[in-house]
């Protein structure tokens, strides 16, 4: 089981085989089962494919965010939303946990800790995306990433379906 988990963490085959939406669904299901957190997924009904760099970046940011939430947030609920519109792909990960002071977190990053958050931001920027982090003590945390997708097919702009886990 540990070897299988390690293999999935190195490179999620679901991402290659079925795309980002299916991979998020699988990752979210595993996390909800292991952590006991209530997960809400708002994903497109269709499973559009995105450029490989966008898919792996989105997946890794969600994976890191879920791990951070499970370890540090004290959250009960997580919501992941993936939306496609004329501006591109938007992913939002939101929790109802304890939140944190953004200025204090930035000071810790400058001092060499909290590198997971910095790594997420750098990964998104290197893939050509935008990264946003919002948090306040007692009010949870929201991470949003966005990628401009030129020429996204109309069929990829499908409505979302909400799932609760």
CATH number, residue 149: 3.30.565.10
Model confidence at 127, in pLDDT bands (50, 70, 90)? very high
What is the DSSP track for 68-98?
HIIIII--SEEEEEEEEETTEEEEEEEE-S-
**Helix H or strand E segment including 119:** helix 115-126
Query: pLDDT per residue over 128-160, tens digit each?
Result: 999 999 999 999 999 999 999 875 544 444 445
- Output the pLDDT for position 94: 97
pTM of full prediction above 0.85: no
**What per-residue confidence (pLDDT) applies to 162?**
63
Domain that holds residue 44: 2-164
What's the total number of domains in the chain?
1
| Mean pLDDT of all residues belonging to the chain | 83
């Amino acid at each position: 089981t540990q070897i299988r988990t390690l293999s999935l963490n190195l490179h999620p085959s679901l991402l290659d085989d079925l795309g980002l939406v299916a991979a998020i669904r699988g990752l979210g299901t595993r996390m909800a089962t292991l952590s006991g957190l209530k997960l809400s997924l708002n994903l497109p009904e269709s499973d559009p494919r995105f450029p490989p760099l966008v898919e792996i970046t989105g997946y890794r940011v969600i994976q890191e965010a879920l791990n951070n939430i499970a370890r540090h947030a004290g959250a009960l609920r997580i919501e992941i939303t993936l939306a496609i519109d004329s501006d591109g792909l938007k992913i939002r990960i939101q929790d109802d946990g304890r939140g944190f002071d953004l200025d204090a977190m930035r000071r810790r990053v400058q001092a060499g800790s909290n590198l997971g958050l910095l790594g997420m931001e750098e990964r998104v920027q290197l893939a050509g995306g935008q990264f946003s982090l919002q948090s306040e003590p007692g009010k949870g945390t929201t991470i949003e990433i966005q990628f401009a997708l030129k020429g996204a097919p109309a069929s990829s702009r499908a409505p979302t379906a909400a799932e609760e886990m």
